[in-house]
Copies of this chain bind each other. A is one copy, B any other.
C-alpha cells in the first residue's frame, strides 16, 4: 500500500498545472458512461479539439432509487480506456469509501459530488490520498461551508484540490439551480486552488449552458466542467442539458475568446 502511494506520488498531478491562472481549462464528457461506443466517440471528439480531461459518471448519485444508477466498475473501465487511448486524464465521482479503492485505480482525479460536499468521512478519506480531488459545492451550502469542506480534505494532507461552483437552491424555478457567479472571485481570494464552474447543472437546459459558461469565464473562473454527449436526446440522464459536439465546439470557441479578452 505504502509503495503504491509512493509510486503515485512520483507522478503526482498538480492542480495548478492543470488549471493555471490566466488560462482557461476544460473538463468535458457525458453525464454518465452508457456504452463503449458512447464514451470512445466522446473522448476522441474532445481530445481532437484539445480538451485534456474527460468526465463521466460510473457510480451515479440519483435522487430516486428507480433512476439509472450508472454502469459501476464496467463504466470506470470503459472511461479509463477511452481516456488513455486519447491521451486524456479522467475524472469521475466517488460516492463512498466503499468504492474509493476501485475508483482510485481508474481515475486520475476523484470527484466528490454536490450531495457529498459535507460528507466529512469521505472528505477525510480522499484527504489521505495522493490524488487530486475535485469537490463540487453542495447546492444547499454557503461559500463558507464549501471552503470549510475543502479544509476537511487539506487538513488530512492532500492539497491538490479543485473547487467547482455548480449552482445553489433558490426560489427561482426557471433554472434547475441558481449559478452563484460571485462565488468565483470570493473563493479565489480564500484558497490557492483552481476554481471551476459547472454551467450544465444550474442551466438544466441546453440553451442556457453557454451564457452561464461565458459568464463564469468573464468572472475569472479557471475552467469549465461541461456535460457533452454524442446524442443528448437519447442520454440516460440529464438529457435536456447535455451539449452536442457542435454545441460544445461553439461554446469552447466563444469561451476562449472571452478569456482572451480579459488579458
Chain B proximity mask over A136-179: 1 for CB below 8 Å, otherwise 0: 00111111110010011001000000000000111111110011
A119 in the interface, Cβ–Cβ < 8 Å? yes
Q: Which residues of B contact A5 (CB under 8 A)?
A: none
Task: Give the segment of A21-29, A56-64, A75-83 that binds chain B.
Answer: A56-64
Q: A150 vs B214: C-alpha distance in the bound complex, in angstroms?
A: 27
Q: Which residues of B contact A143 (CB under 8 A)?
A: 172, 174
Interface residues of A in 100-140 (CB under 8 A from B): 115-116, 118-122, 138-140
Chain B proximity mask over A64-99: 1 for CB below 8 Å, otherwise 0: 110000000000000000000000000000011111
A228 in the interface, Cβ–Cβ < 8 Å? no
A182 in the interface, Cβ–Cβ < 8 Å? yes
Q: Which residues of B contact A118 (CB under 8 A)?
A: 61, 63, 115-116
A12 in the interface, Cβ–Cβ < 8 Å? no
Structural contact, A216 and B214, CB atoms closer than 8 A: no
A211 in the interface, Cβ–Cβ < 8 Å? yes
A46 in the interface, Cβ–Cβ < 8 Å? no
**Contacting A207 at CB < 8 Å: which of B148, B183, B185, B212?**
B185
A235 in the interface, Cβ–Cβ < 8 Å? no
Structural contact, A120 and B97, CB atoms closer than 8 A: no
A13 in the interface, Cβ–Cβ < 8 Å? no
Q: A171 vs B260: C-alpha distance in the bound complex, in angstroms?
A: 34
Structural contact, A182 and B178, CB atoms closer than 8 A: yes
Chain A interfacial positions (CB closer than 8 Å to B) = 61-65, 95-99, 115-116, 118-122, 138-145, 148, 151-152, 155, 168-175, 178-186, 202-203, 207-208, 211-212, 214-220, 254, 257-258, 260-262
Some 27 contacts from A to B, beta carbons below 8 A apart, are A61-B118, A65-B151, A96-B97, A97-B97, A97-B98, A116-B118, A119-B122, A140-B141, A140-B168, A142-B172, A142-B173, A143-B174, A144-B173, A169-B171, A170-B180, A172-B180, A178-B178, A179-B181, A181-B215, A182-B203, A185-B208, A211-B220, A214-B219, A217-B218, A254-B261, A257-B262, A260-B261
